[in-house]
A and B are shown apart, each in its own frame.
Chain A
């Protein structure tokens, strides 16, 4: 991939396929730059992804604090001065981090892209890691982590991590408030030196730009970013077995949050497209079996569906539904019946064809928004596929034989492969309780 090419801007392909990126190059320091011209509005979308593996206890909290501090000034500018400079260009940038990566996402007015890239490079290379910045931010982070524990969906997500990977591995992927509160400026300096290097990082730019000028601006501003140590290989989440669901008690909850998961195939696996189509037939579209039964026939849910969550080297099939306390037991029964039916009544040719045209067309439709295209590309590149993935998505789906979808339906949707959590008032799930272990039959 080194070297790469800057193409002349490709216009939208006549067959409805998304164009290839206009540039996909790697700078001398190892930073990969992917650029798409999409002059819909006079803005440029910016997505920077720096991958790493945060494997030590408490490290993910330190990474999140580093992300919180990252846009609070640089060695040369204080927080107000830094944000004022961004805002003057119409720019908004937000940083976030998890156990696999730090990301900066935002946008700027098109004609100030070079200046905003310079501001971003300045803080990525030399963030302001002084006590006056770090101490208030670590308090704020601890408060945010605590605040999230009151959101039923966040509670469910944490519990599902524990259910899938066990307490210890889940703790490494999830920050605790006390860990956030314990970080020091020195910790962050060490973390910055260890994780925030150019090697392996990816910068995606999408919008009203000339590709060669954009690449030149990135080279000017990020060319001197130190390569840093070779990024450790991302920690691939381990396979997890199916089993009873875990109850998370939320007294007084009038709606239960159901989150189910099963191991699936990584994005890079040749079998992924077939799995994706099977998933769309199951619960991934409005016409899907699960949405039809649970929402449009039973009225048991407003928000529900299935999807595939991808990280480098692994994917997880997710099934979600929020349902009234009194509908929890029957809703779980419907979900189980539909999972079983994927093998008993495999996806028909008609269902698969509908899923195929939905998958290809809706991706192109969604990606006509520059912001969505930038996020989509950044996520896909992080998950390990090429920058041509979106361009080839339609043909890739077209090439999936019906048999392969039927096989994926048999293989991935068996209830025995599923585990999960239900965040609910205890009365809502009482009939399912296996004993006093907090486990629920599914």
Chain B
């Protein structure tokens, strides 16, 4: 067993912190421990309320799953979600729900997370269920078949049957080059059809060992008691050497890449734009400046792309965000700043791009007005704090940054870092960087409008 360290918050206190915010942040203590089998544990008690949150992050996702096995990380998430051998026959979620809780799971680029929230009295049960599936997930031919079918329904719901369903997956596909970085998370049909139980068991052995996992506890619990429970349930899990994640280094795009997608379900035309984000570790300050830039461009009524002379007309919906899923700092790989706009008429895309380019140039030339910058970051920070008000989400976000960066504190500090830690000058530099970088531009053409012009298939063309 290694150290047990209590780590308080080291925040850049800037004088702008409000009374309750300061008090609350300081009260939150993070405690880490590492078991002999390599399991990392993060205890983040929050004495308010009567619920607990539990998250387990495994260090494998759709970007790091084995080559030729696309979709396996996500399929495996569905299988593991059923629960371990001891949870049978009822299964994981029925047990959690009967105890008054809820649970869910997600597969992301680098991690797969299982999270739950429940009344504080159910903490031990949640831990037992997680240890159970970390020890022996109930994988069978039958669940494999059924969950493959459920995933087919999921793909229809999320991608194939909705307007603009190719967003956001199409952006990394167009912008990035390496196969690992262009995957859509759901996987290729041919790969999905070829999965069998031995393959899943191998995946479990390689990626689901305690040494490749982070267990996070939040909410109303006593840290000493929780530590005893965690040790009781997880300490006897055998250590397994994790398989190293593949090197997925992605070079910067060398030209603008454009694609037009014919969308059978779209009404109006739409356009999506993707830019490469700075590295979240080696270029952290720049990454945060891009976060603020995205908020200036697209957050709220006063967003620069929604008002003033540069705003594009006849846009029905517009969003700008950092991270493929709109959540910043959720991958160590190549990350994206994305824009998505639904607009009237085919020409509208050029108006949106002109508005974007004009705004970036103006911001690169002249710093954003100080009042606007302050208001934008204040609103962003409040939104990020709000997410921490839900125990399950809190556990998920703390564990995410611990698993990716060894930096759970980042989740707690992020609102304040964005609110007071980014200057107008840094945002100007971010705008200049975007303006001079090569991006992906994807147009969504409604099938009726496109039918006369082109084949009913996607066509790709290099930008001029």
| Residues of chain A whose beta carbon lies under 8 Å from any beta carbon of chain B | 12, 16, 38-43, 71-72, 79-80, 83-84, 86-92, 107-111, 139-140, 143-144, 146-147, 149-152, 208, 252-255, 285-287, 295-303, 322-324, 354, 357-358, 360-362, 364-366, 368-372
Contacts and interface: CB of A to CB of B under 8 A. Distances in A.
Contacts of B267: 146-147, 149-150
8 smallest A-B Cβ distances: which pairs?
A361-B100, A299-B149, A90-B382, A287-B94, A87-B375, A42-B20, A150-B267, A83-B301
A110 B18 CA distance: 9
Contacts of B48: 38-40
A368 B391 contact: yes
Contacts of B357: none
Given A40-B46, A84-B375, A88-B371, A252 B265 contact: yes
Interface string B99-143: 111100000000000000111011000000000000000000000
Contacts of B148: 299
16 contacts: A39-B20, A40-B48, A86-B379, A87-B302, A88-B374, A89-B378, A92-B300, A109-B378, A143-B344, A147-B342, A152-B265, A252-B264, A255-B157, A298-B149, A324-B153, A364-B100
A111 B119 contact: no
Contacts of B2: none
A365 B375 contact: no
Secondary structure class of chain A's binding surface, majority of residues = mixed
B401 interface: no
B389 A151 contact: no
A224 B392 CA distance: 41
Interface stretch (B160-168, B278-286, B323-331): B160-168
Q: Output the residue of A42, A146, A360 with the most chain B CB within 10 A.
A: A42
Contacts of B178: none
Nearest to B99: A361
Given A42-B18, A87-B378, A296-B91, 18 more contacts: A39-B24, A41-B388, A41-B389, A42-B20, A42-B385, A79-B301, A84-B302, A87-B379, A108-B382, A109-B21, A109-B382, A143-B316, A150-B163, A208-B20, A285-B94, A299-B150, A300-B153, A371-B390
Contacts of A208: 20, 24
B436 interface: no
Nearest to A359: B100
B268 interface: yes
B383 interface: yes
Given A38-B49, A83-B301, A370-B389, A286 B161 contact: no
A80 B101 contact: no
B53 to A, nearest CB: 9
A439 to B, nearest CB: 23
A83 B314 contact: no
A324 B150 CA distance: 10
B102 A366 contact: yes
A132 B161 CA distance: 38
Nearest to B93: A286
Contacts of A139: 314
Contact of B301 (A43, A80, A150): A80
B146 A90 contact: no
A16 B100 contact: yes
Interface string B253-281: 00000000000111110000000000000
A422 B447 CA distance: 23
A151 B163 contact: yes
Contacts of A357: 98-100
A145 to B, nearest CB: 10
A80 B302 contact: yes
Contacts of A362: 97, 100-102
Q: Output the residue of A86, A144, A301, A361 with the most chain B CB within 10 A.
A: A361
Nearest to A19: B50
A255 B21 contact: no
A260 B125 CA distance: 36
A252 B265 CA distance: 8
Q: Output the residue of A143, A146, A298 with the most chain B CB within 10 A.
A: A143
B310 interface: no
A88 B101 CA distance: 36
B7 interface: no
Nearest to B270: A147
A332 to B, nearest CB: 15
Nearest to B299: A87
B14 to A, nearest CB: 15
A253 B24 contact: no
A369 B97 contact: no
Contacts of B50: 12, 16, 364, 368
Contacts of A368: 49-51, 117, 219, 390-391
Interface string B278-304: 000000000000000000000011100
A302 B97 contact: no
A358 B382 contact: no
A238 to B, nearest CB: 32
